[in-house]
């Protein structure tokens, strides 16, 4: 049974690879055979390569700036906690209690509802060895899934695409925003970025303008040879480390073609699909609203990426974190409501992350400085709901330079999502085998 499904999806995958989805049924058998040999390795590396209406979907939600995990999943009954945070510590009546020790921040009502419905897992104390307190370096570590002493160029999502989705449609990955996150950087970059579907097109007036635009941008591609396996494509380059080789124009040419291909599809879905849930009027709310539309419209996307900024709360943290976590919980709750209404809740998992948590002790400005381990949230029908991992000890003797120590390596969460949800081997993507945390 299982084998049959794999074969079926593989055949479909090969067709897509060769000529793109719209021509899939016209692929002559001999061509399919030829390519099946060429692509055998790629196909084997992908246990499940289906894209389309039935495949599982991962929504990655970045909480940028370093969210204070201790005031998010709050150890409200812990004396060390209140001692370290006389001003910003949350009291028992200010949290949404999960048990006698721990509660969610009071603004996260939406998350509490998901928790009570068995659709939220809270992974406690997630981090990595030798934590780095720089926003950029730590973000890079989370985005590339590298060890903290090793600098990687490509992102973990990019490596997933490289390993498991060769030849896929450009919309295999969708970022709502204007910049591509490093997680998507790949040796053969995939994925599109947009923020406003109305403007996501080439606006032409006058006869022949659009045709000429297409020709001018397609001609470039023939020289750039985007799908040449032998290299020469410059790939994405890490943030802040601009190109050291290859031609910038080749990269732009490839992006131009992806833009052309995806523009019609995105706009027609955005115009057609309606949301049923009400989202907060925030950037995150708007982004998740758009993701819900695209899922409802049947885009063959496996990974969506949205982000919410502002968590760098060095000063007067209480108000800003209240607002941010409220927005987060409301937006995600609205999204899950939409997914339920569409009948797609079973296909979707939302995973949050932040580059680090914050120092256990508050600072003199009613805020907290950069820290280390923090919780992650995973939302979905098939997640292992509840509290996972162990709450890190806040006892002063257990801290490292004032920070909590991690109990769960974030890459074991990625491994679980990759293997159990996206159904692909995680070791080639994460560089080594991490034991998947049983979360999905």
Residues of this chain that bind other proteins (CB under 8 A):
64, 132-137, 170, 175, 178-180, 192-196, 198-203, 205-209, 212-213, 215-217, 219-220, 223, 234, 236-237, 239-245, 247-249, 251-253, 255-256, 258-259, 262-263, 314-315, 363-365, 369-370, 401
Cα–Cα dist 423/382, whole Å? 14
Minimum CB distance to other proteins, residue 180 (Å): 5
Cα–Cα dist 234/255, whole Å? 12
Minimum CB distance to other proteins, residue 288 (Å): 18
Minimum CB distance to other proteins, residue 314 (Å): 5
Which of 144/262 has CB closer to other proteins?
262
Cα–Cα dist 405/388, whole Å? 16
Minimum CB distance to other proteins, residue 73 (Å): 24
Which of 17/255 has CB closer to other proteins?
255
Burial of 320-333, coded b for 16+ CB within 10 Å and e otherwise, reads bbbebbbbbbbbbb
Cα–Cα dist 360/159, whole Å? 34
DSSP-assigned states of every residue in 177-246: SSS--GGG--SS---EEES-GGGSS----STTHHHHHHHHHHHHHHHH-TT-TTS-------TT---SSS
Minimum CB distance to other proteins, residue 80 (Å): 19
Minimum CB distance to other proteins, residue 170 (Å): 8
Minimum CB distance to other proteins, residue 253 (Å): 4
Minimum CB distance to other proteins, residue 19 (Å): 21
Asked whether 378 and 126 are in contact (CB, 8 A), the reply is no
Q: How many CB atoms lie within 10 A of CB 20?
A: 13
Q: How many CB atoms lie within 10 A of CB 43?
A: 21
Cα–Cα dist 409/28, whole Å? 47
Which of 249/278 has CB closer to other proteins?
249
State residue 97 phi and psi, 5-degree precision: -70, 135
Which of 105/370 has CB closer to other proteins?
370
SS3 78: coil
Asked whether 313 and 65 are in contact (CB, 8 A), the reply is yes
Closest CA to 351 of 335, 340, 338: 335
Which of 15/289 has CB closer to other proteins?
289
Which of 196/274 has CB closer to other proteins?
196
Which of 200/421 has CB closer to other proteins?
200
Reading the block at residue 328, the tokens are: 């987060």
Cα–Cα dist 231/187, whole Å? 9
Strands 303-308 and 192-194: unpaired
Which of 40/216 has CB closer to other proteins?
216
Which of 112/359 has CB closer to other proteins?
359
Minimum CB distance to other proteins, residue 62 (Å): 12
């Amino acid at each position: 049974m299982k084998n049959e499904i794999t074969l079926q999806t593989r055949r479909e995958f090969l067709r897509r690879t060769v000529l793109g989805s719209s021509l899939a049924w016209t692929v002559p058998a001999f061509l399919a055979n030829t390519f099946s040999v060429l692509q055998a390795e790629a196909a084997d590396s992908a246990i499940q390569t289906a894209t389309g209406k039935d495949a599982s979907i991962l929504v990655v939600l970045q909480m940028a700036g370093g969210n204070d995990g201790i005031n998010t999943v709050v150890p409200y009954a812990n004396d060390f906690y209140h001692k370290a945070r006389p001003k910003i510590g949350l009291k028992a009546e200010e949290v949404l209690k999960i048990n006698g020790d721990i509660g969610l921040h009071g603004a996260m009502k939406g998350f509490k509802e998901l928790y009570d419905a068995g659709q939220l897992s809270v992974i406690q104390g997630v981090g990595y060895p030798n934590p780095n307190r720089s926003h950029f370096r730590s973000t890079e570590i989370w985005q590339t899934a590298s060890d903290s002493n090793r600098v990687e160029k490509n992102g973990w999502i990019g490596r997933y695409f490289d390993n498991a989705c060769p030849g896929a449609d450009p919309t295999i990955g969708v970022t709502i925003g204007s910049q591509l996150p490093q997680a998507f950087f790949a040796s053969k970059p995939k994925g599109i970025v947009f923020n406003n579907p109305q403007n996501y097109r080439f606006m032409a007036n006058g006869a022949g303008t659009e045709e000429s635009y297409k020709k001018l941008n397609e001609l470039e591609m023939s020289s750039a040879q985007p799908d040449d396996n032998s290299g020469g494509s410059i790939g994405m380059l890490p943030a802040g480390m601009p190109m050291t080789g290859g031609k910038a124009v080749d990269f732009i040419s490839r992006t131009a073609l992806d833009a052309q291909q995806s523009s019609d599809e995105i706009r027609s879905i955005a115009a057609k699909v309606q949301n049923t849930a009400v989202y907060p009027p925030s950037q995150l709310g708007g982004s998740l609203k758009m993701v819900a539309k695209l899922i409802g419209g049947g885009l063959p996307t496996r990974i969506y990426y949205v982000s919410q900024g502002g968590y760098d709360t060095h000063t007067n943290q209480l108000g800003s974190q209240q607002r941010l976590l409220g927005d987060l919980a409301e937006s995600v709750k609205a999204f899950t409501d939409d997914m339920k209404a569409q009948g797609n809740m079973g296909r979707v998992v939302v995973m949050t992350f932040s580059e680090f948590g914050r120092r256990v002790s508050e600072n003199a400005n009613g805020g907290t400085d950069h820290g280390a381990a923090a919780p992650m949230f995973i939302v979905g029908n098939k997640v292992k709901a509840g509290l996972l991992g162990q709450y890190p000890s806040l006892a002063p003797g257990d801290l490292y330079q004032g920070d909590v120590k991690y109990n769960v390596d974030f890459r074991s969460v990625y491994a679980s999502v990759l293997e159990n949800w996206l159904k692909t081997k995680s070791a080639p993507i994460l560089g080594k085998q991490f034991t998947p945390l049983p979360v999905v």
